Amino acid sequence: MSERPIPPELIDRLRRAHRVAVLTGAGISAESGVPTFREAQTGLWARYNPEELATPDAFQRNPKLVWEWYTWRQQRVRQAEPNAGHRALVEMEQRIAEFTLITQNVDGLHRRAGSHQILELHGNLFRAKCFSEDRPVESWPDSEEIPPRCPRCGGLLRPDVVWFGEMLPAATLRAAEHAAATAELFFSIGTSALVYPAADLPFAALNAGATVVEINPQPTPLSPHVTFSLNGAAGQILPALIAAAWEPTT
Ligand code: OAD
């Protein structure tokens, strides 16, 4: 349970809400043992700076190194399981008429937990696309080559994630902005609220008059602006919130 009780006013607003949008970041997967982006460097990878691996320039300089780094990150995620925080958001989706889950995470754990309405702002570790054509590639012939090659044009394949300096997928970002601007209740969960344009979404919700709730053990630049700030781990607070809103108390 969270250390401080969940405000009754928030429980009431959640129960009555028809349109809810949620933004998640690496913090929601922390309790699954998935390292956050900046913690991801251990073992073999400790000497690399992730901000220097997750760029188009890094890939052009050394595509094998970048592909292998993502293969390693995929392995870390395969060993992980969704946690109570991911599962609580599945329950929230089942209770709310219009529910949108916007995530910056590339680990796919929300889908594995059973969420359906997911907008992946930064792509997905388990998909690939052609570096030259910028088109998704579902499968490619087995080969020893790293990275593998695009079956259409022979160009190099890259992970289908958003790298530093790249645009977010336009339609996904538009859908996220729409969800934020029309939500009655907006949750910002496990994100440092530093990386734009995702960090704009809670402010779009606030400007449109939504109740904005932050769940994070640490303060962020968003904290002074939110309606309710719940300090603690998502894996504890979210199940407590669902129980308080919808489970019988007897
Ligand atoms: P960060 O690693 O920047 O921040 C993780 C946040 O989660 C921090 O604010 C922590 O306090 C919080 N946190 C840690 N444990 C938590 C828990 N159990 N429950 C709730 N919160 C917890 O991750 P993001 O904000 O997701 O972008 O980073 C955003 C983007 O920056 C990433 O998507 C990535 C990175 O650069 C790209 O790769 C384009």
Q: Is the pLDDT of residue 37 over 80?
A: no
Q: Residue 45: which residues within 8 A CB-CB, separation 6 or more? A: 69, 72
Q: Residue 135: which residues within 8 A CB-CB, separation 6 or more? A: 129, 152
Q: Is the pLDDT of residue 248 over 80?
A: no
Confidence (pLDDT) at 206:
98
The two tokens of residue 127 are 């998909």
Confidence (pLDDT) at 49:
79
What's the start-to-end Cα distance of the chain, in Å? 18
Pocket flag, ligand 1, residue 103 (CB < 6 Å): no
Q: Residue 111 Cα, ligand 1 centroid: separation in angstroms?
A: 18
Evaluate whether 29 touches 191 at the Cβ level (below 8 Å): no
Pocket flag, ligand 1, residue 190 (CB < 6 Å): yes
Confidence (pLDDT) at 1:
43
- C-alpha–C-alpha distance, residues 65 and 177, integer Å: 35
Q: Is the pLDDT of residue 38 over 80?
A: no
Average pLDDT over residues 227-242: 98
- Out of 138-142, 210-214, 222-226, least confident range: 138-142
Confidence (pLDDT) at 194:
86
Give the residue, 3 or 33, on which the prediction is more confident: 33
Pocket flag, ligand 1, residue 54 (CB < 6 Å): yes
Q: Residue 53 Cα, ligand 1 centroid: separation in angstroms?
A: 18
The per-residue pLDDT for range 62-121, each reduced to its tens digit, is 999 999 999 988 998 999 999 999 999 999 999 999 999 999 999 999 999 999 999 999
190 among the known binding-site residues? Answer: yes
The per-residue pLDDT for range 164-222, each reduced to its tens digit, is 899 999 999 999 999 999 999 999 999 998 888 999 999 999 999 999 999 999 999 99
Q: Residue 144: which residues within 8 A CB-CB, separation 6 or more? A: none
**Residue with the nearest Cα to atom 7 of ligand 1?**
27
- pLDDT-based confidence at residue 45 (cuts at 50, 70, 90): low
43 among the known binding-site residues? Answer: no
Pocket flag, ligand 1, residue 217 (CB < 6 Å): yes
- C-alpha–C-alpha distance, residues 124 and 129, integer Å: 11
Average pLDDT over residues 16-45: 84
What CA–CA distances, in Å, run from 135 to 54, 72, 132, 147, 175?
18, 23, 8, 16, 20
Report the share of the chain in percent with pLDDT over 90.
81
**Residue with the nearest Cα to atom 31 of ligand 1?**
195
Beta bridge partners of 188: 23, 214
Confidence (pLDDT) at 124:
96
Average pLDDT over residues 156-168: 95
Confidence (pLDDT) at 230:
98
Evaluate whether 36 touches 26 at the Cβ level (below 8 Å): yes
Beta bridge partners of 210: none
Q: Residue 25 Cα, ligand 1 centroid: separation in angstroms?
A: 5
The pTM of the full predicted model, rounded to 2 decimals, is 0.94
